[in-house]
Structure 1
Amino acid sequence: MQDVARGGVWAVVVAAGRGTRVGAALPKQYIAVAGQPLIGHTLSALCSHPGVRGAVVVLAADDAHWPGWSEMAGKPLLGCVGGESRADSVLAGLQALPDEVRADDFVLVHDAARPNLRHDDLTALLERGRADPVGAILAAPVRDTLKRAGDDGGIDRTEPRERLWRALTPQLFRRLQLGRALESARESGIAVTDEAMAMELLGMRPLLVEGDEENFKVTTAGDLARFGFVLSQRLHGSGAS
C-alpha cells in the first residue's frame, strides 16, 4: 500500500449526466442513499484511498444540486463544467486538473454513478496500471451466455464469451495521452463510450485488471435499490468494503 500511496494520482469524476432512466426528479448522482447523495458515496470511496491525491468533479452547466464540496476524506475537490458528450466532459476535467499534474502523470477517470468501488480493486489498478506503458482499466469477465438477436427479436446465434470483458471504472491513463486520444476521436466524429476506447482507436492496448462485479453503475431504480441493500448489509457487518 505504501508504494501505491507514494505520489498519489488525481481523479476526474464524470458527473455531468442526467440519469433519466432512474425516473427521479433529481439527477441520479444526487439521489440520497442512506442519508447521503449517491455522488457523496462515490467520492468518499475514491478519495479515502491513500493512492488518490484529489479529484476534479465534472458537472453539467446548469447543475443546481452540487453541494459545493471543496474536499472529501481530507482530499481537495475541484469542480468544472462538462460538455455535451462524455469525451468532452473528460477533456474538461483533464484541463481543470491542477498544474502539479504533469503531462505524463497517470490520472484516474471514474463514473459518479459507481459508488461501490472497493479499495482492493483500486490498489490493484494503480499498481498494475502504472507499471504498464499505456495504462489499465478495471473490468469484469463476461460470465453469462451471450445471444445475438435478429431484427425480429429471435435468437440468431450464441456468441462465444471467452475473452470478453465488461469495462468498469476507474480507468487509468496518462494525462496527455488520454487527452490526445479523446481529441482524436472527437475530430473523427467517433462517440467513445469509455476512455479505453479512445486509446484503442490510436492502436494502444490498455491492460485489463479484474475488478469486483459489485462495482456496478447505477442506471435504473433497481440499481439504486441494489446499492441501498449493499449499504445496509455493510452497516450490519455482513458486507465487504
Structure 2
Amino acid sequence: MPLPEGATGDCWAVVAAAGRGSRMGLGTAKQFRPIGGRSVLAWSLAPLLACARIRRIVVVIARDLDPPELDLAPTDRARVVFAAGGAERMDSVLAGIAALREAGAGLDDPVLVHDAARPCLRAEAVARLLVEAATPDGGLLALPLHDTVKHADADGTSVDRTLDRGRLWRAQTPQVFPLDALERALQRAQAAGLPCSDEAQAMERAGYRPRLVRGDATNLKITAPDDWPLAEFLLGRDA
C-alpha cells in the first residue's frame, strides 16, 4: 500500500498484536478488548500516531484473524496497515519489517517496535526514545529495578540467592533500532532457533549494546487480570 499523501517522517513502527492473551482467560485477545471507551490496540497506537516522525505503522495480528475496525481519524487510519504474524514474536516482527520494506522503508531508517498490550504509553516517551536512542545500537525504554530481586531454586518454590539490583533494568517497549540491523539480528535468532522475549535481546546476541532510555512506571503491559483495572484507571486519569 502506498504511503498517505504528505507523509514525510523519517521513522517507521511495528506493533506486535499477534498474541492470544491466554493468561488473561478472557476468550478474546486482550489487545482487541475495549477499555475506557476504545480498544487496547487503539490506545497503544495513539502515542505513535501522535509522533509526526512516524510515517507508517504496521500492526501484526494472528494469521487467522481479520483486521479489526479502529476508531481513528482518516489521516491516522491511512498511516496504519495490518500484516499477518507468525508462531513466535520474532516471526511477527520480521513480517512487520517486510511490510515496512514494501512501503519504502530504508535500511538505515529507525524502526520502533511496540507491544499492543501497552496502552498507557505516553507520547513524550516516544519522542524521548527516538532522540536518545538515535545510535547504530538503538535502544529501549526501561526502568531500573528498586525492589529486592530473588532468584528461585530449580523447582521455583524457595530462594536460591538474592541478585544485585544495582545493574538490573526492567525492559519496556517501544524499542527502536535501524531496520537492517534489527532484521538481520532477528533472522539470525530465527535461523538458530533462539526465541527472543524482546527485540533488544536479538540485538544483544548480534553484538550490539542497546541504550537504556528511562521510561515511565505507568507504561505497564497488560498480562494478568489484575493489570486491567490499573490500566483503566491510568487511561481515565489521562483522558
TM-score, scaled to structure 1? 0.89
Cα deviation code 1:68-110 (max 9, x no counterpart): 6786646511111010000000000000014421011111000
Residue identity opposite 1:214 in structure 2: T
- Structure 1 counterpart of 2:117: 113
Residue 55 of structure 2 aligns to a residue in which SS? strand
Query: Which residues of 2 match residues 138-177 of structure 1 at below 5 A?
Result: 138-151=141-154, 153-177=157-181
Cα deviation code 1:42-74 (max 9, x no counterpart): 111221122322200101011146226786646
| Overall identity of the aligned pairs, in % | 43
In 2, Cα distance between equivalents of 1:69 and 1:16: 19
- Structure 2 counterpart of 1:46: 48
Asked whether the equivalents of residues 44 and 72 of structure 1 are also in contact (C-alpha less than 8 Å), the reply is: no
Relative to structure 1, the CA distance from residue 24 to residue 64 in structure 2 (aligned partners, 3 Å threshold; closer, same or farther) is farther
In 2, Cα distance between equivalents of 1:44 and 1:8: 18
- Structure 1 counterpart of 2:96: 93
In 2, Cα distance between equivalents of 1:120 and 1:84: 32
In 1, Cα distance between equivalents of 2:158 and 2:103: 54
Residue 174 of structure 2 aligns to a residue in which SS? strand
Q: How many residues align?
A: 230
Please report how far the alpha carbon of residue 145 of structure 1 lies from its aligned counterpart in structure 2 after TM superposition.
0.2
Cα deviation code 1:136-159 (max 9, x no counterpart): 111111111011122351222211
Query: Which residues of 2 match residues 164-203 of structure 1 at below 5 A?
Result: 164-203=168-207
Relative to structure 1, the CA distance from residue 17 to residue 169 in structure 2 (aligned partners, 3 Å threshold; closer, same or farther) is same
Please report how far the alpha carbon of residue 23 of structure 1 lies from its aligned counterpart in structure 2 after TM superposition.
1.5
Q: 45-54 vs 12-21, which deviates more?
A: 45-54
Residue identity opposite 1:154 in structure 2: S
2:224 aligned with 1:220, yes or no? yes
In 2, Cα distance between equivalents of 1:75 and 1:49: 14
- Structure 2 counterpart of 1:31: 33
1:59 maps to which of 48, 58, 61: 61
2:190 aligned with 1:207, yes or no? no
Structure 1: unaligned runs, 5 residues or longer: 236-241
TM-score, scaled to structure 2? 0.90
Residue identity opposite 1:146 in structure 2: V
In 2, Cα distance between equivalents of 1:124 and 1:161: 25
Structure 2: unaligned runs, 5 residues or longer: 1-6
1:129 maps to which of 124, 127, 133: 133
Cα deviation code 1:201-233 (max 9, x no counterpart): 111111110100111111111111111111222
In 1, Cα distance between equivalents of 2:218 and 2:78: 25
Residue identity opposite 1:157 in structure 2: R
Residue identity opposite 1:42 in structure 2: S
Cα deviation code 1:101-123 (max 9, x no counterpart): 10111110000001111122111
